[in-house]
Homo-oligomer: A and B are copies of this chain.
Amino acid sequence: MTAIRYDGPACALPLTDTQRVQLGHGSGGKMSAALIRDHFLPVLGNHYLSQLADGAVVPIGNRRLVVSTDSFVVSPLEFPGGNIGTLAVHGTLNDVAMMGGDPLYLTAGFVLEEGLSLDVLDRVVRTMGHCADEAGVQLIAGDTKVVERGKADGMFINTTGIGLLDATFHPGPARAREGDVILVSGALGRHGMAIMAVREGLAFESTITSDTANLTPLVALLRAAASEGIATLRDPTRGGLASALNEIAQASNVGMELDEAALPIPAEVAAACEMLGLDPLYVANEGVLMAIVRPEKAEAALEALRTHPAGAEACVVGRVVSDHPRYVVLRTAIGGSRVVDLLPGDQLPRIC
Contact = CB atoms under 8 A, between A and B. Distances in A.
A18 to B, nearest CB: 8
Interface stretch (A151-159, A186-194, A247-255, A261-269): A151-159
Contacts of A129: 43-44
A19 to B, nearest CB: 6
Contacts of A126: 43
Nearest to A122: B39
A70 B142 CA distance: 7
Contact of A107 (B36, B105, B160): B160
Interface residues of A, number: 79
10 contacts: A23-B114, A39-B122, A43-B125, A44-B142, A49-B141, A68-B141, A111-B111, A141-B160, A147-B349, A147-B350
Given A40-B125, A125-B44, A22 B160 contact: no
Contacts of A119: 19
B162 A25 contact: no
A67 B141 contact: yes
Nearest to A104: B60
A6 interface: no
A108 interface: yes
Interface in A136-188: 138-148, 150-153, 156, 158, 160, 162, 164
A111 B22 contact: no
A275 interface: no
Nearest to A20: B115
B156 A67 contact: no
A21 B146 CA distance: 8
A352 B168 CA distance: 42
Work out how many copies of this chain go into the complex.
Answer: 2
Nearest to A47: B138
B26 A71 contact: no
Nearest to A31: B146
A179 B70 CA distance: 45
B142 A19 contact: no
Nearest to A153: B151
B116 A21 contact: yes
Contacts of A164: 60-61
A65 B143 CA distance: 18
A212 interface: no
B44 A113 contact: no
Interface in A39-95: 39-40, 43-44, 46, 48-49, 55-56, 58, 60-63, 65, 67-73, 75
B350 A140 contact: no
A128 B62 CA distance: 28
Contacts of A71: 109-111, 143, 145, 158
Nearest to A18: B118
A22 B114 contact: yes
Contact of A125 (B39, B110, B153): B39
A223 to B, nearest CB: 19
A108 B49 CA distance: 11
A20 B73 contact: no
A112 interface: yes
